[in-house]
Amino acid sequence: MYNPNVSGGNATSVSGSRLYKYEVKGLRQGAETDKLSPVIRKSGSVFITVPYNRMNQEMQRIARMGGEIVSITPINDDNTNGQSAPAETALQNNGKSMTQAKAKPEKQKIPVNLYKPKAPFIGKVISNEPLVDEGGSGIVQHIKIDLSGGNYHYIEGQSAGIIPEGTDEKGKAHKIRLYSIASTRHGDDMDDNTVSLCVRELEYQHPETGETVYGVCSSYLCHLEPGSDIKVTGPVGKEMLLPDDEDANIIMLATGTGVAPFRAYLWRMFKDEERKANPEYTFKGKAWLIFGVPYTANILYKEELEALQQEYPENFELTYAISREQKNAEGGKMYIQSRVAEQAARIWEMMQDPKTHTYMCGLQGMEDGIDAALSAEAEKNGANWEDFRKQMKKEGRWHVETY
């Protein structure tokens, strides 16, 4: 999903095949001791030598073992005189990346602005696959990008910046466009080396000339060939992050490519490979995706979503709103706001649970209709929707990213 509402950022890329020494504390001792309470951990420090191109993977592995990186020391680097420096990027026990600086603890978990527009990470397109079936409208692509050789890492719910090739009408380099990340922190290949985007090619008629106009970055991305270099910035964004609570209830309201972050959530929650990679997070709550599209052929990731629903029927519910094929109660088109109105009593009841988080991602036009539907339900229950929504926002349970 293209997200124009989040600002981007960068850190200088390091090249070469240098070796680095990690000083690590708090590693768990083994599978058997993990069953004990409290978990037994190794005392003192453990030192691990890591080549530069494996740094990110090793950080993820250490996090899964419950370790904390205390310092990272370049080996045989004349510029450091053999002195140990604090780890620039480390991982907490919950597997989220953090910057070990004098920042407030709540800001340490989230990797932000590792690569900025002036010095983007140069990735490479691995694959560019169509997501719209025959009979659907528009072009939507799933684009997988290789991140190996750098320190680009992210968590579910963040966005990546893309700088398209070429220049604008003034001869200046194009500005970044931001897209919601559609993969988990481990990537589609589970190797911590890729990021995936879900992109629709923007196409519209010029209001004055009638000429067909294509989006600069979306068109660039949708037609990139595998093997092409691509400039990536970020990651950015804190609004759409998942709660750490394994027992949380997650309501997801999506239109079109707004399903991108929810794919990442659902993979993290339910994919077998993800569950093995994240023993510290086993989702036990209720996830409910209400997904609005124009045609059945436009249901992005349809086979993936329905497979997860079939495997986890008690934990994952999938509801479609297919506007050109389904009718609402009044006989009109079934938009996502119509489906929310239809399910308003259940949604409202779930929202009363302090463990329930609601996420909305996609076209901004759905917000008013969803507000109207939930406002009517709140009134039935003697409450004011606007006040209740503000309270959820204050509690960190209401998350919106629309465009």
Structural contact between residues 270 and 312, judged by C-beta atoms closer than 8 angstroms: yes
Catalytic residue among 301, 335, 361, 377: 361
How far apart CA 272 and CA 397 sit, in angstroms, is 27
Here the tokens at position 95 are 């597997």
What stretches of 164-220 adopt beta strand conformation (E)? 177-180, 194-200, 203-205, 212-214
Bridge partners, residue 253, by sequence? 290, 360
- Residues 6 or more apart whose CB falls under 8 angstroms from that of 203 comprise 138, 139, 212, 213, 214, 215
How many CB atoms are located within 10 Å of the residue 221 CB?
Answer: 24
Active site residue 179: yes
- Long-range contact pairs involving 207-215 (C-beta distance under 8 Å, separation at least 24): 215/2
How far apart CA 282 and CA 275 sit, in angstroms, is 7
> Which one-letter amino acid corresponds to residue 50?
V
Active site residue 84: no
How far apart CA 368 and CA 385 sit, in angstroms, is 12
Q: What is the dihedral of CA 54, 146, 260, 304, to 10 degrees?
A: -90
Catalytic residue among 71, 97, 159, 180: 180
> Which one-letter amino acid corresponds to residue 87?
A
How far apart CA 129 and CA 145 sit, in angstroms, is 12
> What SS3 state is found at 2?
strand
How far apart CA 380 and CA 168 sit, in angstroms, is 52
Helices (H), 13-164: 55-64
Nearest to 298 by CA among 131, 181, 122, 160: 131
Catalytic residue among 20, 22, 152, 179: 179
Using the 8-state DSSP alphabet, how is residue 395 labeled? T
Active site residue 198: no
> What SS3 state is found at 107?
helix
Active site residue 361: yes
Active site residue 401: yes
Q: Which residues are catalytic?
A: 179-180, 361, 401, 403
